[in-house]
Amino acid sequence: MELNNDTPATQEKIKQMEQELSKLEHNLWKEYYEAGKGILEIAEQENKRINSLVDKIIETRRKLAETKQEKCCPECTASNDHDSLYCKRCGARLPDTDDTKEDNNGTK
Ligand SMILES: [Zn+2]
């Protein structure tokens, strides 16, 4: 096969192929973009679901600790004996026994 790059017909063919290629590449990027967006949306929904589950677990742990008269660690939510001063899991300072009410100011 002999290819002559100099003829206008060949030049035109090359131009068309290049245009087709850039169109295809554009479509590919669009697909990537849409797929990425879809994945992000799913991830966000899953994240919300998981977060609400985690919230529920933390709340339940807190209630359980309260019922068992244990201290729930504000940092890692581990339950500790009611007279513990520091968390047995992470070592965080636990709130005083007298003050078990929700008091979250300044502990972050
Ligand atoms: Zn802890």
20 inside domain: yes
Q: Is the pTM of this model over 0.85?
A: no
**Three-state SS for 99?**
coil
Within-domain flag for 88: no
Residue 23 lies in a domain: yes
Quote the domain boundaries for residue 22. Answer: 12-80
With respect to residue 22, please indicate whether it lies within any of the assigned structural domains.
yes
Alpha carbon of 98 to ligand 1 centroid (Å): 19
Residue 98 within a domain: no
86 domain-assigned: no
For the chain, how many structural domains are there in total? 1
- Which residues neighbour 74 within 8 Å (Cβ) at sequence distance 6 or greater? 92, 94, 95, 104, 107
83/71 Cα distance (integer angstroms): 8
Distance, CA 12 to ligand 1 centroid (Å)? Answer: 71
Distance (Å) from CA 103 to ligand 1 centroid: 17
Give the pLDDT confidence of 8-46 residue by residue, as tens digits.
999 999 999 999 999 999 999 999 999 999 999 999 999
User: Which tens digit of pLDDT belongs to each residue from 45-68?
Assistant: 999 999 999 999 989 988 888 888
Is 97 among the domain residues? Answer: no
